[in-house]
Amino acid sequence: MHHLLPLLVAVPLLGAALLAAAGRRVPRAAAESAGCAVSAATAALAVVLLLGSSPPQAEWVGGWVPVGGESVGIVLVGDGPGLGMAALASALTLAALVYSWHYFDEPPRGHSGSFPALLLLFQAGMCGFAIAGDLFNAFVWFELMSVVAYALTGHRVEEARAVQGALTFGVVNSLGAYAMLMGIGLLYARTGELGMTRIGQELDAHGPPDALVLAGFVLVLTGLLVKGAAVPFHFWLPDAHAVAPTPVCMLLSGVMVELGAFGVWRVHDTVFSGPGGLPAADVERALVALGVLTAVVGAVMCWYQRHIKRLLAYSTVAHMGLFLTGIGTLTPEADDGVALYILGHAGVKAALFACTGILLDRYGSVDEHALYGRARRLRGVAVLFVAGGLGLAGLPPFGTALGKSVTEEAVGGPLTVLYVLASAVTAGAVLRVAARVFPGLGPRPEEGDVYETTGSGEEPETRQRLSRVPDTMTAIPAVLLAGSLAVGVVPGFGGAVGHAVQEAGTGGLVHVSVHWTAPGVLLGLASTALALALAAVAVSRPRLLAAPDRALPLRRLQSGHVGDYVAWLLVGTTLLGALALPGILGS
């Protein structure tokens, strides 16, 4: 069955090429139907391969198998984590395509297949990265994602803001790509290998790590952390989310950022975890420090947003910090918890963006203040939005709660408090928006500080201002939330995820019990109660928790100037190197 692995990339690539070529000859409905069919076929293939992924298998594309232990070919790895991410990416791409059915203005003649073709290319890049077994091709697939995401972010090219956001995305992510490529070059110079497993073996054979290994680690992780929007590499994400079409936001926050976290886990576990890699204490210090910083900054910035898409983007930043912290503890239990957390978070976050898209297209705004009480009639959307906020808080039995509880038990101590507070603050912000926008609770918000982009004056993304919400636009968030719920309630699912993660790890299969525990449930209920309390106070007594003067210095860092973001990228690379340096000096 492993011979089918290349089809995960070939099918969406071929579908995108056919749609681009046939766009001049087929009607819009046919192009969009074909896009959904190709995406669904890829998703089904990913699930079939995932079910047969134990034990993990490898496929050398084109038959270029290693000779005498030396390899020059492209290797694809069919293990549980990689195929799981490919299945997740394919499922969310299909959800975005269905959600965007007849979504935009009628395209110019000959371009009816452009948007679904771009989404299929994005799907191909995500699947290719998820199953890549060598560093260079992982870089290639990640950059295919970046190029397509750049085009998708600036899809509404007639709007200056969209072009600016896309350019910021392109510049920052390109610099991250150059850093990753330089790191791959250094590792290739040392080992003469590109396959991740072979690089790790060669590094171990060369003895203790030195400055070159440290530089390779820092540069490769810089590229991955830029894609994962970890602080201080994160500035592109809120700017891109503010201007990108809603279906694109569903993919950026629902799976692309998570692929950055997956890449960090894969690269460390396969390349740098042995005696020739970096000392575990240094890696733990670097990843946990960046994870804590990312969670705190993301949660604080999320709370002080009124632009709903920016608010959700900063929530993604905060949760990336939680994922990174769990990965950084370097324990099998934390790896299992993060894997479940990522699956639950993907469905919840994509659903929240889908609901925000409905607000934008009904009322032409994503400003929390301007939308005060205007969405009273959207009762179904209100239920979905609140459910998404509760899932974000970690309310049992959502998959986010199960993943969060397993990770909290693994990290222990003060880091557990971080998980409770970060999830509560981000969920509290979402629930505050729901209380103000839908039933119009609390006093009418004052204009007050308008430092950040408010989200007013937005143009609807659909062909015309919606008088009735299409069934596809409400069905998709409902299905996504149901999927997140299934992660937590389907018997044996958590154990299967844990088994797949441990089987793919270099440490071999470790028995890890993944199930609901009383402390985990209580912590989930505590974070949910805290989120509800924060939202209630913010709505009833808005001045009590509204402190823009305190948040202003932090908010000013999101300047919108690409030069500032480049400077912070260099700061982040230096910080990562400094955190990982002590062990190299000691050796």
Q: What is the pLDDT of residue 108?
A: 47
Q: What is the pLDDT of residue 113?
A: 63
Q: What is the pLDDT of residue 477?
A: 96
Name the residue among 8, 83, 89, 123 with its Cα closest to residue 346: 89
Collapsed DSSP state (helix, strand, coil) of residue 64: coil
- Alpha-carbon distance of 228 to 183, in angstroms, equals 17
Q: What residues contact residue 336 under an 8 Å CB cut-off, 6+ apart?
A: 406, 410, 494, 497, 498, 501, 502, 512, 514
- Alpha-carbon distance of 495 to 262, in angstroms, equals 19
The radius of gyration of the chain from alpha carbons, rounded to an integer in Å, stands at 22
User: What burial class does residue 544 get, using C-beta atoms within 10 Å of its C-beta: 0-12 exposed, 13-18 middle, 19+ buried?
Assistant: exposed
User: What is the 3-state secondary structure of 513-566?
Assistant: CCCCCHHHHHHHHHHHHHHHHHHHHHHHCHHHHCCHHHHHHHHHCCCCCHHHHH
Collapsed DSSP state (helix, strand, coil) of residue 307: strand
> What pTM does this model have?
0.93
Q: What is the pLDDT of residue 104?
A: 61
Name the residue among 352, 358, 399, 348 with its Cα closest to residue 378: 358
**pLDDT tens-digit series, residues 340-373:** 999 999 999 999 999 999 999 888 889 999 999 9
For residue 554 the two structure tokens come to: 């932090």
Q: How many residues does the chain have?
A: 587
User: What is the 3-state secondary structure of 17-41?
Assistant: HHHHHHCCCCCHHHHHHHHHHHHHH
Collapsed DSSP state (helix, strand, coil) of residue 59: strand
Cβ 168 vs Cβ 562: under 8 Å = yes
Q: What residues contact residue 469 under an 8 Å CB cut-off, 6+ apart?
A: 358, 362, 378, 381
**pLDDT tens-digit series, residues 99-139:** 988 666 555 454 556 889 999 999 999 999 999 999 999 99
Cβ 434 vs Cβ 385: under 8 Å = yes
DSSP H stretches of helix in 244-331: 246-251, 257-267, 280-303, 308-328
For residue 53 the two structure tokens come to: 């992924």
Q: What is the pLDDT of residue 515?
A: 84
Collapsed DSSP state (helix, strand, coil) of residue 233: coil
Cα four-point dihedral sign 475, 480, 485, 489: positive
Cβ 403 vs Cβ 319: under 8 Å = no
- Long-range CB contact pairs, 443-448, < 8 A, 24+: 443/542, 444/372, 444/373, 445/306, 445/368, 445/369, 445/372, 445/542, 446/369, 446/542, 447/369, 448/546, 448/548
For residue 141 the two structure tokens come to: 């697939």
Cβ 182 vs Cβ 219: under 8 Å = yes
Taking only the tens of pLDDT, the chain with its 587 residues reads 668 899 999 999 999 999 988 866 777 788 888 999 999 999 999 999 999 888 888 888 877 777 777 777 788 999 999 999 999 999 999 999 999 886 665 554 545 568 899 999 999 999 999 999 999 999 999 889 989 988 888 776 667 777 788 888 889 999 999 999 999 999 999 998 888 999 999 999 887 888 999 999 999 999 999 999 999 999 999 999 888 889 999 999 999 999 999 999 999 999 998 888 899 999 999 999 999 999 999 999 999 999 999 999 999 999 999 999 999 999 999 999 999 999 999 999 999 999 999 999 888 889 999 999 999 999 999 999 999 999 999 999 999 999 999 999 999 889 999 999 999 999 999 999 999 999 999 888 876 544 445 445 555 555 555 567 788 889 999 999 999 999 999 998 998 998 889 887 765 566 667 889 999 999 999 999 999 999 999 999 887 776 555 556 777 788 788 889 999 999 999 999 999 888 666 65
- Alpha-carbon distance of 505 to 543, in angstroms, equals 49
Q: What is the pLDDT of residue 546?
A: 66
For residue 158 the two structure tokens come to: 């007639």
Cβ 128 vs Cβ 90: under 8 Å = no
Name the residue among 450, 431, 443 with its Cα closest to residue 528: 431
- Alpha-carbon distance of 507 to 331, in angstroms, equals 10
How many Cβ atoms sit within 10 Å of the Cβ of residue 586?
A: 10
For residue 573 the two structure tokens come to: 């690379």
User: What burial class does residue 430 get, using C-beta atoms within 10 Å of its C-beta: 0-12 exposed, 13-18 middle, 19+ buried?
Assistant: buried
How many Cβ atoms sit within 10 Å of the Cβ of residue 496?
A: 16
Cα four-point dihedral sign 353, 449, 530, 515: positive
Beta strands in 4-94 (DSSP E): 57-60, 75-78
Q: Which helix (H) or strand (E) holds 138?
A: helix 135-153
Collapsed DSSP state (helix, strand, coil) of residue 231: coil
For residue 380 the two structure tokens come to: 């179904």
First to last CA, the chain: 45
- Alpha-carbon distance of 12 to 411, in angstroms, equals 39
Cβ 62 vs Cβ 72: under 8 Å = no
